[in-house]
């Protein structure tokens, strides 16, 4: 009875321990606070509770110990079925794993002890543990997954020193006998080097070239300093042989082969459901490298969706989730494979993707999600990621552009049709048009039967959904469209390049190639040392910046605008130039080879930027929708006066900093005209949004540190919103586009004197690499009107974020006093 009471007391103390989940990708014992709990035979156990899903991160972090690098292997494991008929005990174990340092527990040194079971067993084809590395290390820890808390792992780490049974260091820098041997380093190469070698092999780099570059790097740094520097030609050759012998067809039956692939690759599968009576097949793939990219570039930033790749060729289309790196290139961070007719069921896998990221980094929060299909389940995205949803027109523009070039041979007619389509989209986004614009377009160009028939058959049934989403959702910029379009093109080159097209009807081939070759090319895109292998360049490689970045490198002097046509001097051959029809339009046409394929080219984007800078074209639709959203949000009354007070304080502080910055850079007084309040309009005139553009000298823009994400409300998790709030979320999104590197747009909201506006709110959210600034200026000496000044920074960034700052004026108004009384 006494023993039972002590046991219950022990487990009560264990289950009340805090669950520790460090916010770093990999963590070790030094990052955890350990607790001492009484164990068996009056001993004290050193233990801690962590999420079971992060046990692998703890093992990798503990293996990468700089003081004593090593690798931990599973020495023993026991599992119990989660479904049991008997009543579970409080100390019941669902899974037991014993991790031991790979330099132990056996000792193959002279005079060392070896377990009898190891010496008597026969020789295996693949011996476990490398006997020559066994040096009797006693460092090990135990992981227990409890029945009472299956989501938690109890880590018992009593032997945390890398010593032998005598208590002396047996490997690593502290072992004097290990100096000059491999025992100084970890027994295996790191996962990063293994990924690098495998990726280089998959993209076609020979073994000899890989070893030559590696040897040159080691010699350059003065000799080996870690285990990765001891990479051997034999090991790389063995990896290359393993790669060549790998096959995708694990079974003649495609479904059985898929199940086997999922069982063999559990680490890179975040969601899987097979066909059933109620649901269809869904497979979500995300490797560790993709998860790291999602955490690094997706936090406080954007995710984008390429939802319909391979719908005409593949058995199961590929849905890609993308992030954008520092150069604004798209990186796939997840692939979802599902039948075409289940495209809209994203609620089945999106929660699993979000939970996987949040498990790795609990502070991860998304800034915005970009969709490319109006039928996408927007409500699910908002509920899961708690962020605004934007729509990208890249798929519509690409399809229309491509078919105009192929189905309409008349040059002048093609120009007129593209202009009409661009005007129709612009009118709908501005709220001045509907689907009737496209009906009039079909009637006016009935003689162009090729494109008109295509438009009626494929696009006219979808225009209702597109029109609705364009009126309610913010728009993504051309920079985002260019990045997604380029990724789509590269994925086509890397995936759909098989000689036998019948192979496209097998799902096991698809997942195998995505996880091997396509993944390797994506890794190579971000590899800083890929220039060393440029002699093996292929068309599948991504080289240079995206078309948007290339367009920014074209000097303005090389742009000549003549009416409805623009000329851009070719940067490679200065004696040639490219003609752009309808510059500044959403559907501009260029005569370059990249544009003929329906893509956004650097010439069209540069000419559009120059037209807008010179006032020859209106602002982009993305920027216009931001102004409309900001004007609508300003009039939304806040629910809490405390929020208003805080917003006013923040706005005044930001305004003071901007005044000081401008006065310091321009040499003028802080009372610059840029921040003067707008003049009130006549009583009989309605409130309008007066857009004025002012050029500011170089250096007068707001620096990034003054618009950081740490102080932004975008870092705060918002409450779920119902259907009635969806429009408010969407209209609260700020979208800035890279249109001018030295120009800043000043937006003034006229004040309405008739209707009191005691409460005004501007919601502001920013994301890394996608920034915008909203500054509200409040005049205390006016009681019935609120002056708002919104300063938009240079549109050189592809920011797709939301401005949220709430401002309540007229502190002496009755409404304010009533709230204060409550």
Tokens of 372: 């490319």
Yes or no: say if 148 and 88 are a contact pair by the CB < 8 Å rule.
Answer: yes
Q: Is residue 670 part of a domain?
A: no
Pair 15, 148 in one domain? yes
Residue position matching structure tokens 């000298």: 697
Question: Is residue 720 one of the residues assigned to a domain?
Answer: no
On whether both 515 and 366 belong to a single domain, the answer is: yes
Residue 219 has φ and ψ, to the nearest 5°, of -65, -35
Residues 612 and 647 in one domain: no
User: Are 294 and 385 in a shared domain?
Assistant: yes
- 267 domain-assigned: yes
Q: Are residues 614 and 625 in the same domain?
A: no
Q: What is the pLDDT of residue 117?
A: 65
CA distance 70 to 64: 7
620/415 Cα distance (integer angstroms): 20
Residues 352 and 399 in one domain: no
User: Of the candidates 452, 471, 490, which is a domain's last residue?
Assistant: 471
Give the per-residue pLDDT at 344. Answer: 65
Poorest-pLDDT segment among 48-57, 118-127, 166-175, 442-451: 118-127
Our measurement of the distance from residue 662's CA atom to the centroid of its chain's CA atoms, rounded to an integer in Å, reads 34
357-363 long-range contacts, Cβ below 8 Å, gap at least 24? 357/291, 357/294, 357/295, 357/298, 359/51, 359/53, 359/54, 360/25, 360/54, 360/57, 360/291, 360/295, 361/23, 361/25, 361/295, 361/299, 362/21, 362/23, 363/23, 363/299
Confidence category of residue 394, pLDDT binned at 50, 70, 90:
very high
User: For residue 815, is it within any domain?
Assistant: no
* 371 and 222 fall within a common domain: no
Q: What is the mean pLDDT of residues 613-636?
A: 80
Q: Write out pLDDT tens, residues 181-221.
A: 888 898 889 999 999 999 999 999 999 999 999 999 999 99
What are the DSSP E strand ranges found in 151-266? 152-159
Residues 189, 198 contacting (CB under 8 angstroms): no
Which has the closest alpha carbon to 791: 668, 585, 627, 649? 627
Last residue of a domain, one of 597, 618, 639: 618
503 in a domain, yes or no? yes
Domain end residue (candidates: 618, 639, 669): 618
CB 336 within 8 A of CB 284: yes
SS3 at position 309: strand
Number of domains within the chain: 6
Phi/psi for 688 (5° steps) reads: -130, 160
Name the pLDDT band for 544 (thresholds 50, 70, 90). Answer: confident
Output the average pLDDT for the chain: 78
Write the DSSP symbol of residue 458.
Answer: I
pLDDT tens string 475-496? 999 999 999 999 999 999 999 9
* Residues 352, 377 within the same domain: yes
Structure tokens at 396: 């519509």
H helix and E strand count, the chain? 25, 24
Residue recorded with tokens 């959210």? 765
Examine the pLDDT at 280 and tell me if it is beyond 80. Answer: yes
Q: What is the pLDDT of residues 749-798, one digit of tens each?
A: 343 334 333 333 333 333 343 333 333 333 333 333 333 333 333 333 33
pLDDT at position 542 is 77
- Considering the domain architecture, whether residues 219 and 260 belong to the same structural domain is answered as no
Report which of 335, 342, 260, 239 is spatially closest to residue 290, judged by C-alpha positions: 335
Q: What is the predicted pLDDT for the residue at 760?
A: 39
For 418-469, what is each residue's pLDDT tens digit? Answer: 999 999 999 998 888 889 999 999 999 998 889 999 999 999 999 999 999 9
Domain-located, residue 708: no
End-to-end Cα separation, the chain, in angstroms: 59
DSSP 3-state of 370: strand
Kindly give the pairing relationship between strand 302-309 and strand 368-371: parallel
Query: Does 137 lie in the same domain as 45?
Result: yes
**Same structural domain for residues 265 and 375?**
yes
Handedness of CA 21, 22, 27, 29 (dihedral sign): negative
List the domain range (segments joined by +) for residue 566.
547-618
pTM equals: 0.75
Q: Is residue 182 part of a domain?
A: no
Q: 146 and 65: one domain?
A: yes
What's the pLDDT score for residue 604? Answer: 93
pLDDT digit string, tens, across residues 58-106: 999 999 988 899 999 999 999 887 666 666 666 678 999 999 999 989 8
At 12 the pLDDT is 80
In a domain? residue 22: yes
């Amino acid at each position: 009875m006494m023993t039972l009471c002590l046991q219950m007391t022990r487990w009560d103390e264990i289950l009340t321990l805090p669950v520790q989940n460090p916010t770093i990708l990999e963590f070790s014992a030094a990052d955890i606070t350990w607790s001492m709990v009484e164990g068996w035979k009056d001993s004290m156990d050193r233990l801690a509770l962590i999420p079971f899903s992060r046990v692998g991160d703890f093992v990798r972090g503990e293996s990468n110990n700089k003081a004593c690098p090593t690798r931990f292997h599973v020495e023993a494991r026991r599992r119990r079925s989660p479904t049991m008929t008997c009543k579970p005990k409080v100390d019941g174990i669902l899974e037991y794993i014993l991790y031991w340092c790979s330099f132990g527990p056996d000792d193959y040194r002279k005079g060392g002890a070896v377990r009898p079971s190891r010496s008597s067993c026969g020789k295996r084809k693949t011996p476990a543990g490398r006997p020559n590395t066994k040096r009797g290390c006693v460092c090990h820890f135990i992981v227990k997954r409890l029945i009472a808390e299956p989501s938690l792992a109890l880590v018992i780490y009593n032997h945390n020193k890398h010593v032998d049974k005598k208590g002396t260091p047996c490997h690593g820098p502290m072992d004097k006998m290990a100096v000059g041997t491999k025992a100084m380093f970890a027994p295996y190469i790191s996962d990063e080097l293994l990924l690098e070698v495998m990726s280089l092999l998959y993209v076609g780099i020979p073994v000899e070239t890989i070893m030559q570059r590696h040897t040159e790097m080691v010699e350059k740094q003065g000799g080996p300093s870690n285990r990765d520097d001891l990479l051997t030609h034999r090991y790389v050759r063995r990896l290359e042989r393993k790669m060549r012998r790998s096959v995708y067809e694990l079974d003649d039956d495609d479904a059985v082969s898929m199940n086997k692939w999922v069982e063999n690759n559990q680490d890179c599968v975040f969601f899987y459901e097979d066909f059933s009576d109620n649901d269809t097949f869904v497979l979500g793939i995300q490797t560790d490298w993709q998860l790291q990219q999602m955490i690094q570039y997706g936090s406080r930033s954007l995710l984008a969706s390429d939802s319909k790749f391979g719908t005409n060729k593949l058995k199961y289309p590929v849905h890609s989730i993308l992030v954008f790196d520092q150069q604004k290139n798209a990186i796939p961070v997840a692939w979802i494979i599902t039948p075409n007719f289940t495209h809209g069921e994203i609620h089945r896998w999106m929660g699993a993707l979000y939970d996987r990221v949040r498990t790795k980094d609990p502070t991860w929060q998304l800034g915005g999600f970009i969709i490319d299909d109006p039928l996408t389940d927007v409500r699910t995205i908002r509920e899961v990621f708690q962020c605004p949803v934007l729509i990208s027109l890249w798929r519509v523009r690409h399809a229309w552009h491509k078919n105009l070039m192929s189905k309409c041979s008349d040059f002048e007619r093609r120009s007129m049709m593209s202009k009409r389509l661009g005007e129709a989209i612009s009118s709908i986004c501005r709220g001045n048009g509907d689907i009737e614009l496209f009906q009039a377009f079909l009637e006016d160009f009935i003689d162009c039967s090729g494109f008109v028939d295509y438009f009626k058959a494929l696009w006219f049934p979808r225009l209702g959904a597109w029109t609705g989403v364009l009126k309610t959702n913010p728009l993504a910029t051309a920079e985002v469209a260019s990045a997604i379009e380029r990724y789509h093109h590269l994925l086509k080159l890397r995936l759909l390049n098989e000689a036998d097209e019948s192979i496209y009807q097998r799902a096991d081939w698809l997942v195998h190639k995505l996880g091997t070759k396509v993944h390797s090319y994506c890794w190579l895109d971000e590899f800083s040392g890929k220039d060393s292998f440029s002699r093996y360049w292929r068309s599948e490689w991504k080289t240079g910046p995206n078309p948007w970045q290339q367009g920014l490198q074209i000097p303005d002097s090389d742009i000549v605008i003549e009416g409805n046509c623009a000329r851009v001097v070719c940067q490679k051959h200065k004696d040639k130039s490219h003609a752009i029809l309808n510059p500044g339009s959403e559907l501009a046409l260029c005569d370059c080879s990249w544009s003929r394929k329906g893509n956004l080219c650097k010439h069209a984007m540069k000419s559009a930027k120059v037209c807008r800078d010179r006032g020859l074209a209106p602002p982009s639709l993305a920027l216009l929708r931001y102004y409309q959203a900001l004007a609508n949000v300003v009039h939304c009354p806040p629910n809490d006066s405390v929020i208003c007070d805080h917003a006013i304080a923040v706005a005044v502080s930001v305004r003071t900093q901007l005044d000081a910055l401008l006065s310091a850079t321009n040499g003028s007084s802080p009372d610059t005209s840029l921040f003067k309040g707008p003049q009130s309009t006549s009583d009989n005139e309605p409130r309008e949004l007066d857009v004025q553009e002012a050029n500011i000298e170089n250096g007068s823009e707001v620096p990034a540190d003054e618009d950081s994400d740490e102080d932004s409300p975008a870092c705060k998790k918002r409450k779920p919103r119902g259907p009635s709030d969806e429009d408010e979320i969407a209209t609260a999104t700020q979208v800035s586009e890279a249109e001018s590197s030295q120009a800043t747009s000043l937006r003034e909201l006229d004040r309405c004197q008739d209707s009191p506006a005691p409460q005004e709110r501007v919601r502001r959210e920013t994301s890394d690499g996608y920034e915008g600034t909203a500054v509200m200026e409040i005049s205390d000496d006016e009681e019935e009107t609120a002056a708002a000044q919104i300063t938009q920074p240079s549109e050189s960034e592809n920011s797709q974020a939301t401005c949220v700052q709430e401002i309540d004026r007229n502190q002496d108004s009755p409404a304010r006093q009533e709230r204060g009384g409550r």
